[in-house]
Structure 1
Amino acid sequence: MDKPKKSVRRKTSGVTIDEVAALAGVSPMTVSRAINQGKVRDDTRERVMRAVQALGYTPNLAASTLAAAQHTRIALIYTNPSGAYLRELLVGLLRGASNAAIQLVIHYWDNLDPVAERRAARALAGRVDGVILPPPLCESPVAVTELVQAGIPVVAIASGHLRDDVSCVRIDDFHAGKEMAEHLIQHGHTRIGFIRGRNDLSASARRYDGFATALHEAGLEVEPSLVQEGDYTYRSGLEAAEKLLSQPQPPTAIFASNDDMAAAAISVAHRQGLDVPRDLSVVGFDDTSAATTVWPELTTLHQPIAAMADAAIDILLRTIRQRTDDSRVLTDHVLPHRLVMRDSVAHPPKR
């Protein structure tokens, strides 16, 4: 009776990435970057490819794709004063980074002067493959110039217009501001206060332009006393709302350029014994968590912040993987906004 044959497990004789690294005199991570068109010096890439050819190394495509993603470092640089906005942004970034299996690094630049900002940008450029700039840094000439000159792909989030130096992910701030103003006018408001955002951001200017256009089209004048400056912080919203509501003829509605300042306006109204929305309508912008943590909940303009962050990662990854030394493709990705109606708007009171 023949004995059953034993199964034989053959040993593989494939070349490993460690052997390629040893022959080329570099680290396995550098080998992975070189093979997957990552960021390495030209002479290093040539040395790695000679080692690959000499050893007959065949990379595992699935593993190399994953490795390339894991070795891709995307930086978020923020100095946004709105905690609610930042939370929405991080949700999208963390989701996008997890789905793409990339490394996300976060840097906080707190009130850096131009010299310090230039130094920080130069240092960062040598450590990452791409950068995401939310407001207000999305329009910092120092940061953008340094990163672009270093050859680092940059995506600006929520810039108010198409740029010719970096890719953008944004909404149409002009039409969003116009739509919100028209919503108040349709409710019968003719004296509408406006709290502006930061004056160094184009998105702030575009929202105001949309507001002013809606008033002009309705035959209403923009009264300078009904337009107050803010900087997207809750405190600036308090100060602006107090100025608006202390006038001899106060507005019957306030349109704030973000939800934090709108929430502050509601607080000032309550402090003065006004009922929102019976005595005063208040609307915001962004649709962050601040819009639903005040009473009454805010009517606001939904800006898809998390989706914008997700799109920014996608644009950066495509740029990093497809870029060549002699070409640079910029993307202007405009996402739809949406008017969210809640409980903070009513018809103006009868005088």
Structure 2
Amino acid sequence: MARAGKPTQSATIIDVAARAGVSAMTVSRVINGRSGVSAETRAAVEKAVAELAYVPNAAARSLVTSAELRIGVLYSNPSAAFMSEFLTGVFEEASIRGARLVLLKGEGGRPPAAEALAKFAATGLSGIILAPPLGESVAVLQALRGVGVPMAAIGAHGVRGATCVRIDDRHAAYEMTRHLLDLGHRRIGFVLGNPDQAASAERMAGFYEAVREVDGVAVQVAQGDFSYASGLAAGEQLLDGPAPPTAVFASNDDMAAAIVSVAHRRQLDVPRQLTVVGFDDTTAAVTLWPPLTTVHQPVRRLAAEALALVASEARAPGGKQRPRRDRILDHSLIQRSSTAAPPGD
């Protein structure tokens, strides 16, 4: 069961594509009056545009007379599923905004080398997008200090000099934990994410906020870093104890998938003997058995929104910068087959 929230910001081309059931490139062709689109598809796109009150970026439709946007994208995330969604959102929105992307990748969640960051900052960028965890990296923020272009940080909290585009991590984790408690679970494991990311602390805070509302809950916590490998280690730790949890809430889908793998290796039935839930709703949530109950974080839309914000600010007359403030998008709880009441209930 998914809980749909009300839109809190202007629609993007990703939203129009989802509503019409087509690709973002098809939406672009319709908006720009290009051929190669059936009458039925064109009508569906035009209907979605009207329903969502989508306004195409005027600058992106007149590139021949406007300066080229060069948007830098910094990323280094151990979750391949998350990065696939993130990069898809960035590429699709960039194609509509007429932006050229300049990519710089770090490895394993670590920032690129200082020399690479310095060269990146000096390439004449119009704006910068930071994928987690780099939006909260001291080394990255120091290297970009003084660049003087609009920046957006995905999934970050309170980054000085950048607009943070995220969901309400704390409330999302609270809702998922309440779901586990409502199923009857009183021994619950929680797997933390990267300790250097504020989202990890927010999700843990939401977890404990829900737990404190119910008496008699035994909590076990294991440290992860959002990678599958860390989820395997956390799963072994949680399930090795004398009174292992009947439910495990992992801070992202990659770690949750690893917990399911550990359970299978121990011949534990998921969900009859162990409930497992995740966070993000990436492809990892639906490519294993059983499919994961998880928090839907609209990663693709977060990325598209970040690029739209940076592009719009970069094209603002006189380079006028807007006040920095968080953009919080809606999340939802997606219930699949990995949850059940605890054994014996």
TM-score by length of 2: 0.78
The 3-state SS of whatever aligns with 1:80 is coil
**Is 1:90 aligned with 2:87?**
yes
Contact 1:148 1:154 in 2 (8 A): no
Provide, for residues 141-177 of structure 1, a one-character-per-residue CA deviation record: whole Å limited to 9, x for no partner. 2212332312122110011x23332111000000011
**Is 1:255 aligned with 2:252?**
no
Provide, for residues 72-103 of structure 1, a one-character-per-residue CA deviation record: whole Å limited to 9, x for no partner. 11121111011000100111111101111211
- One-letter identity of the residue aligned with 2:197: L
The 3-state SS of whatever aligns with 1:269 is helix
CA distance, structure 2, for counterparts of residue 129 and residue 208 of structure 1? 36
Contact 1:157 1:169 in 2 (8 A): yes
Provide, for residues 220-274 of structure 1, a one-character-per-residue CA deviation record: whole Å limited to 9, x for no partner. 4563xx1000011111101100110110000000000000000000010011010
- One-letter identity of the residue aligned with 2:257: A
Partner of 2:13: none
CA distance, structure 1, for counterparts of residue 291 and residue 322 of structure 2? 44
**Is 1:295 aligned with 2:318?**
no
Partner of 1:204: 200
**Greater shift after overlay, 229-238 or 144-153?**
144-153
CA distance, structure 2, for counterparts of residue 111 and residue 288 of structure 1? 19
Of 122, 125, 128 in structure 2, the residue corresponding to residue 126 of structure 1 is 122
Q: Percent identity?
A: 45
The 3-state SS of whatever aligns with 2:236 is helix
**Is 1:245 aligned with 2:239?**
yes
User: Which runs of 5 or more residues in structure 2 are unaligned?
Assistant: 1-57
Contact 1:117 1:143 in 2 (8 A): no
CA offset at residue 277 of structure 1? Answer: 0.3
The 3-state SS of whatever aligns with 1:75 is strand
**Is 1:177 aligned with 2:159?**
no
**Is 1:334 aligned with 2:331?**
no
The RMSD of aligned alpha carbons is 2.2
Provide, for residues 184-225 of structure 1, a one-character-per-residue CA deviation record: whole Å limited to 9, x for no partner. 0000001000010000100000000000110001224563xx
CA distance, structure 2, for counterparts of residue 162 and residue 125 of structure 1? 22
Provide, for residues 287-323 of structure 1, a one-character-per-residue CA deviation record: whole Å limited to 9, x for no partner. 0000000100000000000000110011101211227
Partner of 1:34: none
Contact 2:72 2:103 in 1 (8 A): yes
Residues 153 and 176 of structure 1, relative CA distance in 2, 3 Å threshold: same
CA distance, structure 1, for counterparts of residue 215 and residue 65 of structure 2? 58
Residues 323 and 111 of structure 1, relative CA distance in 2, 3 Å threshold: farther
The 3-state SS of whatever aligns with 2:340 is coil
The 3-state SS of whatever aligns with 2:215 is coil
CA distance, structure 2, for counterparts of residue 222 and residue 344 of structure 1? 21
Superposition map of 1:134-153 within 5 A? 134-153=131-150
Superposition map of 1:105-120 within 5 A? 105-110=102-107, 117-120=113-116
- One-letter identity of the residue aligned with 1:65: S
**Is 1:72 aligned with 2:66?**
no
Provide, for residues 105-125 of structure 1, a one-character-per-residue CA deviation record: whole Å limited to 9, x for no partner. 2211226988x6443332112
CA distance, structure 1, for counterparts of residue 217 and residue 144 of structure 2? 43
The 3-state SS of whatever aligns with 2:145 is helix
| Higher RCO (C-alpha 8 Å, min separation 6) | 2
Residues 323 and 119 of structure 1, relative CA distance in 2, 3 Å threshold: farther
User: Which runs of 5 or more residues in structure 1 are unaligned?
Assistant: 1-60
Contact 2:183 2:340 in 1 (8 A): yes
Contact 2:150 2:321 in 1 (8 A): no
Contact 1:69 1:100 in 2 (8 A): no
Structure having the higher Rg: 1
Of 288, 303, 306 in structure 1, the residue corresponding to residue 300 of structure 2 is 306
CA distance, structure 2, for counterparts of residue 64 and residue 99 of structure 1? 8
Residues 265 and 327 of structure 1, relative CA distance in 2, 3 Å threshold: closer
Of 225, 228, 239 in structure 2, the residue corresponding to residue 234 of structure 1 is 228
Partner of 1:216: 212
**Is 1:187 aligned with 2:172?**
no
CA distance, structure 2, for counterparts of residue 284 and residue 328 of structure 1? 35
TM-score by length of 1: 0.77
CA distance, structure 2, for counterparts of residue 282 and residue 172 of structure 1? 21
CA distance, structure 1, for counterparts of residue 168 and residue 257 of structure 2? 23
CA distance, structure 1, for counterparts of residue 140 and residue 271 of structure 2? 42
CA offset at residue 327 of structure 1? Answer: 5.2
